[in-house]
Structure 1
Amino acid sequence: MNFFEANFDGLVGPTHNYAGLSVGNVASLSNAKNSSSPRQAAKQGLSKMKALHDLGMVQGVLAPQERPDVYTLRRLGFTGTDAQVIAKAAKQAPAVLRAVCSASSMWTANAATISPSADTHDGKVHFTPANLTNKFHRSLEPVTTGRILQAMFRDPAHFAHHTHLPDNDHFGDEGAANHTRLCSAYGKRGVELFVFGRYAFDSSQPAPKRFPARHTLEACEAVARLHGLSGEHVVYMQQNPDVIDQGVFHNDVIAVGNQNVLFYHQQAFVDTQNKLNELRRKFGNETDLHLIEVKDSDVSVSEAIKTYLFNTQVITLPSGEMAIIAPTECQESHAVSSYLAALVQQHTPIRHVHYYDVKQSMRNGGGPACLRLRVALSEQEKQAVNPNVLMNDALFSTLNQWVDKHYRDQISEADLADPQLLDESRSALDELTQILGLGSVYQFQQD
């Protein structure tokens, strides 16, 4: 049976803005208060999706969240009509309003952790939405994320869905941004690499001092249990606290993997050699495992963060060769572009680099890898996926027309207080659920 990896990219929402909400994310903070272009952001994301589809990849679309989130504002004591709730929040708690307008669900690497059927005890693909407890604006996402994933992967014969972990920092879970699966082939049992920032129940262990470690070991272990993974095929690695304090808020800012390749920075992990030895042992055929370490002398941590060298996608093309999907910021950096040009000439599976413009996302702190959720599927499992969410020429055209119809060209922080923005967003999402065949996944559709 044919197996492959599908990428499901987050569709940028109508309220895409630069509010600088993500402490620890250098790009997010440095662009705070700048005006954004939701229309341009959505079209850049769609262009990347279409480009991967044209490369022969299975590419899907993940719908955004409803924003502004007036339901959360009501939970926080704001009353009246929707317009009155927004006006009161803008006047009394502008920081809260900015948070409930965030379009951060576009970064679907944080949407969930997914284990393919080859790894799980019951032979199903397992999904656990991330609780994202470390950031208020992202902690609002998991319930709707769960509904959207269930609307995309409906068939219980193939897919198992779990409730997100308890909403507590002890089980802080940032999803697939801290998870990598290594395997000899997508359809064979692999090794699932869970990366965490700190130990929740042991304060004596190393932890960052400046920025928060968002993901805990305990969350990793819980997801592995939920998905029925064998301990002999799981590795837990800790992020280097020093690089978290330099702005590496997720592992996918300092490491990325695909099949038999782990591409990582010299400073990415704690106890690197011992953990890589464990990874080699559990992977099995060590000669087939390519561990590509980028030295400080080649690319510094700060340059990796600035360009998002490791927030690139490493994909396996239909030819069997691998390619890196990189933002144009990597191309514009002499150190990074030189490194990548040399890398594709070396004896590794990575043979190509493709550069794409995703600047609207990059300025808010997310590169190509942030924008996608990876799902390894068999051909039979793919047939069970909601077909309306899979990219093709017709869907690309329809979604571009939908963006032109509903999205603003510019949004500033002041625009978030405009009650018309809620009506525009709901109108857009109501039409989107019909295009993607999702049903009533949003709260406003159920009221």
Structure 2
Amino acid sequence: MGIIVFFFISVSISLIAQALPLETTKAQSKASKESVTIITNTEIVSNFIWRGIDIGGDMLRRRNGEMYSSYTYSPALQPTIDIYSPSKNFQFQMFGSFQLRNREDRDSDRRLFQTGSGGVGPSYISEEPKYWDASNQDLCAQNIQTQSTGAMPDYSTCGSRVPGKDVTPTTEPNGMRRADGLFTAFIYNFDESRLGKISAGIWFYNTFNKSPAFAMSPSTQNGNPYASGGTGTPYSPNVYNSNNTNAITRLSWHEYFIFWKLPFLESIEPTFSIYTQYSTDNGGYMAGKNYLSLAMGHEFRKDQFFRIQPSLQFGYAAANNLLDNRNGIQDITGGWTFSLGDFFARIVGIYRPDLYIWDTNNAYGYAGGDPSRASWNRTSEDGRIPNPARMYGADNTFVLNAIEGLNTGNASVDSVAKLYLREKYTLQKIPQTILYYSFGVTKSF
């Protein structure tokens, strides 16, 4: 959940992906003040990003075994509906996000013989079992590997499992459909006064499909007898694995929030917001997390057919989570929205100044989704994290095994050299800037 902690206020429509709820003052102003008002916003975004968290892009990069990047094309459909009471004080909102591509699961660990998703198995035919199954967790897979090299296998170790059917490359639960989710918000908008305009409410978020709990600490996951992970010092066989179906769950979290549109500088509509998360799922380690936002924007050519709206938001995390307990500026988000009638297009850039908030397994997940590789991101002050492109596959495994097999005759030298070489090969810089664009249409009824 940490990463997905994943998963998203601002005074302007241009920041819908950064914070919720979406304020629809402009569209509402056109509606009758004596009837129920319904406002819809349908948007296609190039990537699902929320509060500086690259939800869609990072998930897709892990799925495909690709390096984290400032720009990832992972399009999503994001419809919003707001329903206002006749007085316009009560507001009900639903916001959904639905991934449009790469929705199916994929074999991301690329192991040749596995009993199930995330199971141990060789990455290439000649890989020695000491590297991939030092604890003899799956003797059947070992014997299938033996047979593939021309030797005589002992299939009695397979029991009822059929080689080539039950012990074969398998997909992991990583399809982008697992990022689909729905926000439901209940808001009360107080009447505007000389102190400004204040709104308060509560929202809930739930995903529709189960997702790997890759960002959960190992103690919150169930043991997996066919667990993946590196073997040997300094990392031991993994008994907790994110691909364990028993450790896969739907994401659900909740927040209280207050918005205060300040009574000055009205041309840029400065709005201060505070969110407090109170979720108790996954051990409740996100409960008590606070996110503070200051947003502003100005619409040029207001009420005309062609309009331009720049916007800017500053987001501060008062404890990124209860495990890391790090404070800092989480995101600075700027955007430009260009509108033609009810249609709009926008481009948004996000800058993350305090990278130490993100330099943690509870933000980016364990290396390759594997909690036993937590030590692979052992330094939380260097701005570097495990690169998904260097985790799995025959090529990466061959290099990592060669590093593990280093032997100079001096154990102390070997230990330092292995650590240095492994980190040099597997780590990458955390992207400090993120970009996305979108287009959509807004209608009121």
TM (norm. structure 1) is 0.24
**With CA pairs under 8 Å and 6+ residues apart, which has the higher RCO, 1 or 2?**
1
Largest Rg, 1 or 2: 2
- TM-score (norm. length: structure 2): 0.24
